[in-house]
């Protein structure tokens, strides 16, 4: 009943689960965690991976066995799109089980991270202040109007999202994001510093553009700098500018970077859709973002592509890495499952990005099709291909790097 009968006595089974939370990298402002904190994060990471790898694939099995046949018998046709498929899934027990389990896992992840950060809020703020006070690489704007798409939504069920401050110098939300990201990534395999993706993106760019020697790099929606620090390590002679709307993220980010020995990142508070007050035209050789676009509104996204064209130099590169768009190579059931975050994880713009070809936005903002390139998450760190993404690449899921040369 426990599955042991499947293995003859004496058979060794290789462990394939998440790594232990105690292997997580600890920098100077990383929250202190005790035994119970670590085991709570371990448990939640295991649950997250179980949900994704064991339960999620069974949804399509149930859809094919029960949901679609019942609909065909009643209507004489198959569901026409992902919206219709999702509505049908709402009454399917496997989807209900998956949704309840996954939502509970995310809420518990946020509770676990916030409890760790809140109980040492003042101490964390003091540590960050000791590393950042008076440092010109932290440029905050207390008059910045936080964009409505951030104010109205607590992304990923994270109270206060990226920007909320409860007292001067507060870094709680950033500390929560940092210490709990291990769970969100299902154990963050191989990511001691949670920078594997950022490093892979930088390696992909270096492989694609071996002659690119950027002097200034702009990272948009940088949060606490996981990817900005990766870029800083890969391009040590460049100045990295990490922009985010959240002051707690930026304070924590600079303190984290300095404690890791990275001194070529400047953290700037700003609205990524309009940086005209912060930077002049053609100020950067490379502009990047990672998992930013699916968290912003449609008008803001259009504005960001226009800003990227304005900010990057002639011959420079712009690259955004985010969720892949859907195509006819992806079943309507899988598309409906991909929309889960839109409806249940406080990411209302997630589904919109699934419908869009980002290269269309590049074209509309002034870039030429001749300079388009892309790389799927399966090839991160290795190969970037010329042109737009293909329907077959969409079927792979994950993250797609989409870029253009000015």
Q: What is the pLDDT of residue 185?
A: 79
CA angle 4, 8, 11 (to 5 degrees): 95
- Mean pLDDT within 216-220: 98
Q: What is the DSSP letter of 63?
A: I
- First-residue to last-residue Cα distance in the chain: 60
C-alpha span between 365 and 303 (Å, rounded): 9
* Nearest-10 Cα torsion for 255, 258, 263, 266: -10
> Which residue is it, tokens 């071996």?
210
Q: What is the DSSP letter of 382?
A: T
Q: What is the pLDDT of residue 2?
A: 40
Q: What is the pLDDT of residue 190?
A: 61
CA angle 325, 64, 322 (to 5 degrees): 15
Tokens standing for residue 322: 């985010």
Per CATH, the architecture of 191-405 is what? 3-Layer(aba) Sandwich (3.40)
- Mean pLDDT within 106-125: 97
What are the pLDDT digits (tens) for 311-335?
Answer: 999 999 999 999 999 999 999 999 9
**Which run of H or E residues covers position 197?**
helix 196-208
C-alpha span between 229 and 255 (Å, rounded): 12
Q: What is the pLDDT of residue 383?
A: 81
Domain locations in the chain as residue ranges: 21-135+148-178, 191-405
279 pLDDT more than 50 = yes
C-alpha span between 184 and 195 (Å, rounded): 14
Question: CA 293 → CA 226, 256, 272, distances in Å?
Answer: 17, 24, 11
| 353 contact partners, CB below 8 Å, separation of at least 6 | 293, 294, 301, 322, 323, 325
- Mean pLDDT within 250-263: 97
Q: What is the pLDDT of residue 10?
A: 64
* Nearest-10 Cα torsion for 294, 300, 303, 309: -30
What are the pLDDT digits (tens) for 187-215?
Answer: 766 667 777 777 888 889 999 999 999 99
Weakest mean pLDDT among 82-96, 154-168, 290-304, 375-389: 375-389
Tokens standing for residue 329: 């190579």
Mean of per-residue pLDDT scores for the chain: 92
- Mean pLDDT within 176-196: 79
8 pLDDT more than 70 = no
Long-range contacts of 41-47 (CB under 8 A, 24+ apart): 41/112, 41/179, 41/180, 41/182, 41/183, 42/18, 44/105, 44/108, 44/109, 44/112, 44/183, 45/18, 45/21, 45/182, 45/183, 45/185, 45/186, 45/187, 45/188, 46/17, 46/18, 46/187, 47/101, 47/105
> Which residue is it, tokens 């000791």?
130
Q: What residues form DSSP beta bridges with 400?
A: 322, 376
C-alpha span between 251 and 28 (Å, rounded): 13
| 197 contact partners, CB below 8 Å, separation of at least 6 | 227, 290, 321, 380, 399
161 pLDDT more than 60 = yes
Q: What residues form DSSP beta bridges with 268?
A: 139, 243
- Mean pLDDT within 227-239: 94
Q: What is the pLDDT of residue 3?
A: 40
155 or 315, greater pLDDT: 315
Q: What confidence category does residue 353 fall into, taking pLDDT thresholds of 50, 70 and 90?
A: very high
pTM of the model: 0.93
7 pLDDT more than 70 = no
Q: How many C-beta atoms surround the C-beta of residue 101 within 10 A? A: 14
Helices (H), 35-171: 35-50, 56-62, 68-75, 82-89, 93-118, 121-132, 148-151
What are the pLDDT digits (tens) for 284-301?
Answer: 999 999 999 999 999 999
What are the pLDDT digits (tens) for 370-388?
Answer: 999 999 876 655 688 999 9
9 pLDDT more than 70 = no
């Amino acid at each position: 009943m426990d599955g042991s009968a499947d293995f003859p006595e004496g058979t060794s089974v290789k462990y394939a689960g998440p790594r232990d939370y105690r292997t997580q990298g600890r920098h100077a402002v990383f929250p202190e965690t005790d035994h119970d904190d670590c085991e709570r994060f371990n448990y939640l990471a295991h649950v997250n991976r179980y949900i994704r790898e064991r339960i999620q694939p069974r949804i399509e099995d149930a859809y094919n066995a029960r949901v679609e046949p019942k609909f065909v018998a009643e209507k004489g046709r198959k569901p026409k799109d992902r919206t219709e498929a999702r509505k049908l899934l709402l009454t399917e027990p496997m989807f209900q089980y998956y949704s309840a389990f996954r939502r509970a896992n995310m809420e518990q992840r946020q509770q676990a991270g916030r409890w760790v950060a809140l109980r040492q809020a003042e101490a964390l703020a003091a540590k960050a202040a000791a590393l950042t006070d008076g440092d010109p690489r932290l440029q905050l704007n207390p008059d910045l109007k936080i964009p409505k798409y951030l104010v109205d939504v607590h992304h990923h069920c994270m109270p206060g999202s990226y920007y909320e401050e409860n007292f001067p110098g507060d870094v709680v939300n950033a500390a929560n994001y940092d210490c709990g990201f291990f769970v969100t990534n299902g154990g963050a395999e191989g990511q001691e510093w949670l920078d594997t993706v950022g490093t892979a993106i930088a390696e992909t760019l270096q492989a694609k553009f071996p002659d690119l020697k950027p002097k200034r790099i702009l990272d948009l929606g940088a949060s606490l700098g996981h990817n900005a620090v990766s870029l800083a390590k890969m391009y040590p002679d460049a100045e990295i500018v990490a922009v985010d709307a959240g002051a707690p993220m930026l304070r924590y980010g600079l303190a984290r970077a300095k404690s890791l020995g990275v001194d070529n990142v400047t953290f700037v508070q700003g609205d990524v859709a309009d940086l005209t007050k912060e930077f002049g035209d053609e100020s950067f050789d490379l502009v990047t973002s990672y998992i930013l676009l699916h968290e912003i509104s449609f008008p803001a996204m259009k504005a960001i592509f226009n800003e990227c064209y304005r900010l990057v130099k002639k011959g420079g590169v712009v690259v955004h890495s985010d969720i892949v768009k859907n195509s006819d190579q992806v079943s309507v059931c899988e598309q409906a499952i991909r929309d889960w975050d839109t409806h249940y994880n406080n990411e209302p713009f997630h589904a919109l990005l699934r419908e869009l070809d980002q290269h269309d936005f590049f074209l509309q903002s002034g870039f030429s099709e001749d300079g388009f390139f892309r790389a799927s998450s399966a090839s991160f760190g290795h190969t970037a291909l010329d042109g737009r993404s293909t329907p077959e690449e969409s079927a792979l899921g994950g993250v797609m790097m989409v870029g253009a040369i000015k």
